[in-house]
Structure 1
Amino acid sequence: MLEQRAESTLRGVRILNKWIALLVGAILFACAALVLMDITLRQIGSSFGGTDEITGYVMAVSTAWGMSFALTELSHVRIDFLRSLAPQKGRALLDIIALLLLAITVSIIAKQCWPVVATSLKNSSTANTPLETPLALVQIPWFAGWLWFAISSWLIFVSALALIVKGKFNRTEQTIGIANAEEEWL
């Protein structure tokens, strides 16, 4: 039962993160199209203006949301010198420790993001730019991305820990290990 629940949670987080990645990719594509149109307009003496500001916001938000997808795809960078020398149980232990530390760190970051958003909401803060963008419009999805990354990290951690407890070290490695270079190119 525990193993099935862990597998179900992992599958759900992975599917949700794939949909989020597709949405973020579409937003990045739209942002690139906006920049391309602005560059084209500049050639004829006009401009939308503010594309640099908009793309900066899009990058911050898409990065916050994209990190959770990178986690489910085993794309986070890790120094694996010691890990590669360890037996399967040792690798699982190192992987779960790395995931625990990641979940703690991301939770702290998400917690520290909220006061930034709360202050912008309280003060109705706007960017000190010609667009005068209400900062909360950008900071709320940015904060939500960090929060989702923290939630995903903890869900994956608990699920991976359940697999380790059940002795499913091979499945744990597939879930929270690192992708090798051959797998990434296939």
Structure 2
Amino acid sequence: MEQMIFTRLRQINRAIALLVGIMLFACAGIVLADILMRRMGAHSFGGTDEISGYVMAIATSWGMAFTLLELGHVRIDLIRTKANQTGRALFDLFSMTVLTGTILLIAIKCWPVLERSIANNSKANTPLETPLAWVQLPWFAGWVWFALVSTIVTLTALSLVLKGRNDEVETAIGAFAEQDMLQ
């Protein structure tokens, strides 16, 4: 069952990553078109720097869960590499627990930012006067998704540890890159 959970989460996050990639590609296209228009002496769209900043914030928040499931987050595991398989599984579980706690805190702290923007009908102090809630809602949703995925992954890894399936823990939440570099 645990492997099914990891597989399903990876499928969902790969689809999200594809959508985020399309969003980034479209943003790059808009910025490129704006640059070309300015080089040819035409009026620029204006605000492409603002829009690209918004897109990067949204892409980052949604990309975190994908990176987690692809074991792409940076970890320094000098002690972990010296441990046996059970020890590595426990280090991995500890790492996931700390990450999950941190991400839950970030997601919780993001809400007041969005709530205030909605309550005040806040707009960016820029020529575009972008309603901030339009940008902050998908940004906040990305952090909530990351918190949810991180929590599910941690609980699923805990289930594997409790069942003594430590090899599966390493496959699901381990840190392979550092281990490969030290061998």
**CA separation in 2, counterparts of 1:54 and 1:159?**
37
2:7 maps to 11
Correspondence 1:38 to 2:73: no
Question: 1:180: how far off?
Answer: 2.1
Aligned residue identity for 2:30: L
Identical columns (%): 53
When normalised by structure 2's length, the TM-score is 0.95
Q: Which runs of 4+ in 1 moved over 3 A?
A: none
**For residues 58-109 of structure 1, what are the alpha-carbon distances to aligned partners after superposition, in whole Å with 9 as ceiling and x for unaligned?**
0000000001100000000000100111111000000000000000000000
1:20 corresponds in structure 2 to 16
CA distance in 2, matches of 1:154, 1:18: 18
Q: Which runs of 5+ in 1 are unaligned?
A: none
CA contact (8 A) 1:75 1:179 kept: no
Structure with larger RCO (C-alpha < 8 A, sep 6+):
1
Using the alignment, how far apart are the partners of 1:120 and 1:72 within structure 2?
A: 32
Count the aligned residue pairs.
179
1:10-89 to structure 2, matched below 5 A, reads 10-45=6-41, 46-89=43-86
Query: What letter is aligned with 1:108?
Result: L
CA-to-aligned-CA distance 1:127-178 (integer Å, 9 cap, x gap): 0000000000000000000000000000000111111111111111000001
The whole-number CA distance in structure 2 between the counterparts of 1:179 and 1:82 is 14
Separation (CA, whole Å) in 1 of partners of 2:175 and 2:135: 32
Deviations 1:101-123 (A, max 9, x none): 00000000000000000000011
Q: Match for 1:16: what amino acid?
A: I
1:115 counterpart = 2:115: no
Task: Report the residue type matching 1:69 in the other structure.
Answer: F
CA 1:83–1:181: 2 relative to 1, 3 Å: closer
Match of 1:103 in 2: 100
Distance 1:178 1:42 in 2: 46
Looking at structure 2, the residues matched to 156 and 182 of structure 1 have their Cα atoms a distance apart, in angstroms, of: 21
